[in-house]
Amino acid sequence: VTVADYPNSYQHLLNAGLTPPALWQPVPEPATVTEECFQEVFEKICSEWPARYTSVLLKDYVKSAKATSQRFQQVPVNSELPEMCCELVAARGVRFNRGVVLKAWVQLALYPNRGGFTTNEWRLFFGRGSLLSMEANSYQDADTAPPPPEEVVARAEQVAHSVSNPYFSLDLAETEEEGWIALEIGDGGVSGPAPGQDLNKLWQQLSSCLASRSSSLTACPCAAGC
């Protein structure tokens, strides 16, 4: 079980207060998916979610389609939503992963940067439940965009202690009205570094973390030290 699959990580993030509402729909046969497949989840959003959530972000269980299209990043909750879910499946094509996630859209905080605006995102790497690194991940200006507060980092560490994956990344982002949220969790083996991150330092930290864990597992547990 990998936390990179959003349904596997959602409850951990929810318990830590790091995610807006989300629902998902398995899609076992992407080639033949229809709008009816998403009707029930659409009705649940309309009847169960707070009224302030009027749009959703669509992604598959692992990845969004933002690399090829922005139209799934903020999709209105209306009668056309099931159709948009089908279009996401088609847009992901052979890269589609198992199902569609519908996550409540929230406005991210924006900061001026290089003549424009950028979000305030940070990538955290964890090894065996310990924070290895925390780096700016959206080219924001460190003089104006603050890092996550200690209590938010503590909630991310709560997630790290509750999941089974020994090495993973967790992306945090500041929002305009809902504090900080987790954008996604990634398997550490395939998560890219943050811009300008010192990879040698990260690998050293990971090596030390795993070596420490290995030593504690192999040490003799008896009082005599046999």
Q: What is the mean pLDDT of residues 89-102?
A: 95
Return mean pLDDT, the chain: 90
For residue 68, pLDDT over 90 is answered with no
Position 223 scores a pLDDT of: 38
Q: What is the mean pLDDT of residues 68-89?
A: 95
Provide the terminal-to-terminal Cα distance of the chain, rounded to the nearest Å.
Answer: 36
Query: Residue 189's pLDDT band (boundaries 50, 70, 90)?
Result: confident
List of residues 6+ apart from 105 with CB closer than 8 A = 20, 53, 55, 56, 57, 73, 74, 75
Position 221 scores a pLDDT of: 43
Written as one letter, the residue type at 55 is S
Nearest to 204 by CA among 127, 122, 134, 136: 127
Residue-wise DSSP of 204-219: HHHHHHHHHHHHHHHS
Alpha-carbon distances of 35 from 81, 85, 97, 163, rounded to whole Å: 9, 8, 18, 33
List of residues 6+ apart from 166 with CB closer than 8 A = 127, 128, 188, 210
Rounded Cα–Cα distance for residues 123 and 139 (Å): 12
